[in-house]
Amino acid sequence: MRVLITGIEGFVGSHLTELVLQHKGVELVGTSLQGNLSPSLEHLRSSIEVRTLDTTDANAVQSVISTIRPDRIIHLAALTYVPASMKSPLPTFQANLLGGIHILEAVRELQQTSGHSSHLMFVSTGEAYGNVDPAQMPITEECLLRPQNPYASSKAAVDLIAQQYQRSFGLQITVVRPFNHVGAGQASIFVCSNFARQFAEIAAGRRDPVLHVGNLESSRDFTDVHDVVRAYWQLFERRSEETVFNVCSGTTHSISEVLALLMEISALKVSLEQQTERMRAYDVTVVVGDCQRLKRATGWKPERSLKQSLTDLYAYWRENLDL
Amino acid sequence: MRVLITGIEGFVGSHLTELVLQHKGVELVGTSLQGNLSPSLEHLRSSIEVRTLDTTDANAVQSVISTIRPDRIIHLAALTYVPASMKSPLPTFQANLLGGIHILEAVRELQQTSGHSSHLMFVSTGEAYGNVDPAQMPITEECLLRPQNPYASSKAAVDLIAQQYQRSFGLQITVVRPFNHVGAGQASIFVCSNFARQFAEIAAGRRDPVLHVGNLESSRDFTDVHDVVRAYWQLFERRSEETVFNVCSGTTHSISEVLALLMEISALKVSLEQQTERMRAYDVTVVVGDCQRLKRATGWKPERSLKQSLTDLYAYWRENLDL
């Protein structure tokens, strides 16, 4: 089975690669903007064909997909940093939305011209739902999409378009809407990783025991990245006619709980300094997703607790402060 | 007041122009791909500044909007022919989705750099809802978007993004979702105009009295184009905090009723020939929209009956068969 992962160099791409390569008979091709892999995948490099691909280039996308003729595609390549999308939206729309359409078109053309059908997994986001009324929690896949920033609206838009391609052209499409995920290798622009890194810096004596924090009252539905990529892979073999699936834990944890867990894990005493620039005005307050559809379709359930995820993250930063 | 209409050369643009120029103190700028106007607007040419604009060119869009500094923008420019979007989706996505994002970005930049706030009306479509369960009719603005073809999904996608720009950047945005509209000047790719044209051809002795038809059981929510453009204009001065508005009549008429009315109007006896290529596989069966939000916000109500609209259309084709 030929598997293509776009954006293989990223946090989720790296964890997904480890999972996919545990399966026999998989030929894995990964693409990234620079043709690079995460350093954490060096031990697997000989098992992966890595290609350079800029998804905003329609011809390049078409050429890669028609050459590889993948059986499964997981389209992860995206710009995901919300503040950058707020400051300058166009690059995020070009990468996520136009790039996504190019992938859909290439899969459609391959099916039309050669009859080869690729099962395409589109990675959308739980942020596509936006600020949901607490009365409507947990958020199901039937909830209206009301994205609050250009990152989220680029994903919401291509999420709708991917569903339309499934309906109009009979492509095999799965749209996943992951909520917050946590694990080793996550960029420190995301809250759990940011805090874990600060704790690691304090432990290493590289900063005073003062943690910079934002809004501690926000509450999120966190899933360990191992559980997330396992859900993706299981969805390829689901028992379900549905196209769209939330990937989340169905529980919610406040940012204060994240902090308390990291204090316990690190055994460090720290004081807090709240910084207004970390209080995103467009931030939503409480989020919890409904993962019943995913569970019914696959039997999946989350296996790793938030404490385990944060333990991984802290250990990761203890070893990688110089990255 | 400076008003900018993109896609001014089209069917809706022409009717909107007639309406807007009835208001005192309006400076009207229109754009079209070729810098042209509909022949029906020749008598108003001296009152309109017409510019060439391809909305897929981000710099050109930015330049037009920053030069004109419009108070109101009605963004009509779009590719609207569904079968073309099914055959080759990319041009429709580029024009409608990328073009729409360029308009949003230009308005955002103008506001950010000069403080000038344009009220931007985004013309989406009732087709964005897709195949709605009859139990959910009439369709309100809270209905999920499940577009069934690339035209509809390009509009649904940019509809979501326009709403997000209103929420994230505080732009003055109105999103309208017009259902089927009817009136003189409509291209004969749309069902009412197509039938009216066939009747006019029969009346002129240019074809046998045999009407080519598709699915007569389909039923649609038709609004006269005069009522549609009046709704658009009234929405600029609405009493409402809402952003998205259906523009529709709240009633539904079958294609057979359209036929019966045209037989009455033309006083012609015709036989019917059903053609399978006119039975679009992706066609939805019954559509009726809910226009309560629009009515509450503006006091608008439809003033012209389907019979009046079809009378206009038939008269139009009687005079313009050589177009």
pLDDT in tens, B81-103: 999 999 999 999 999 999 999 99
The rounded distance, in Å, linking the Cα atoms of A204 and A207 is 8
**Given CB atoms, is B98 within the 8 Å cutoff of chain A?**
yes
Task: Give the pLDDT band (50/70/90) at residue A275.
Answer: confident
Residue with tokens 């989705």: B97
Contact residues on chain B for A142, CB-CB shorter than 8 A = 144
**pLDDT tens digits, one per residue of A37-65:** 999 999 999 999 999 999 999 999 999 99
Q: What type of residue sits at position A293?
A: R
Whether the CB of A322 is below 8 Å from some CB of chain B: the reply is no
Is the torsion defined by CA of A97, A100, A102, A104 positive or negative? negative
Q: Count interface pairs A-B at CB distance under 8 A.
A: 90
Q: Which residues of A touch B92 (CB under 8 A)?
A: none
What is the pLDDT confidence band of residue A280, given thresholds at 50, 70 and 90?
low
Per-residue confidence (pLDDT) for residue A282, from 0 to 100: 46
Of the pLDDT bands very low, low, confident and very high (cuts 50, 70, 90), residue B301 is: very high
All residues at 6 or more sequence positions from B273 whose CB lies less than 8 Å from its CB, including other chains: B210, B211, B212, B213
Does residue A257 sit in helix, strand or coil? helix
Token pair listed for A269: 């005493």
- Which residues of B are less than 8 Å from A168 in CB distance? 86, 148-150, 282
B279 — pLDDT class (breaks 50, 70, 90): low
pLDDT at position A322 is 85
Residue B250: per-residue pLDDT: 97
User: pLDDT tens for residues B91-148?
Assistant: 999 999 999 999 999 999 999 999 999 999 999 999 999 999 989 999 999 999 999 9
Homologous superfamily of B2-178: NAD(P)-binding Rossmann-like Domain (3.40.50.720)
| Average pLDDT of the residues of chain B | 95
- Alpha carbon A226 to its chain centroid, in Å, reads 11
CB contact under 8 A, B90 and A98: no
| Shortest distance, CA B157 to any CA of chain A (angstroms) | 4
Residue range(s) of every CATH 3.40.50.720 domain in chain B: 2-178
Q: What gap in Å lies between CA B83 and CA B87, rounded to an integer? A: 6
Work out the burial of residue B45: count CB atoms within 10 Å of its CB; fewer than 13 is exposed, 13-18 middle, 19 or more buried. exposed
Rounded CA separation B130/B283 (Å): 9
Give pLDDT, residue B282.
Answer: 46
Residue B276: per-residue pLDDT: 73
What fold characterizes domain B191-220+251-319?
Answer: UDP-galactose 4-epimerase; domain 1 (3.90.25)
- Residue A92 makes CB contacts below 8 A (sequence gap 6+) with A79, A84, A85, A150, A151, A154
Q: What is the pLDDT of residue B295?
A: 98
Residue pLDDT, tens place only, A74-108: 999 999 999 999 999 999 999 999 999 999 999 99
- ipTM higher than the 0.85 cut: yes
**pLDDT class for A125, splitting at 50, 70, 90?**
very high
Q: Which part of chain B has CATH 3.90.25.10?
A: 191-220+251-319
ω before A178 within 30° of 0 (cis)? Answer: no
Identify the band that residue B284 occupies on the pLDDT scale cut at 50, 70 and 90. low
- Can you tell me the mean pLDDT for A231-247? 96
Nearest to B97 by CA among A121, A122, A90: A90
Percent of chain B whose pLDDT exceeds 90: 91
CA–CA separation, B69 vs A157, rounded Å?
28
Show the beta-strand stretches assigned E in chain B.
Answer: 2-6, 27-32, 48-52, 72-75, 119-123, 172-178, 181-182, 210-213, 219-220, 223-224, 244-247, 253-254, 271-274
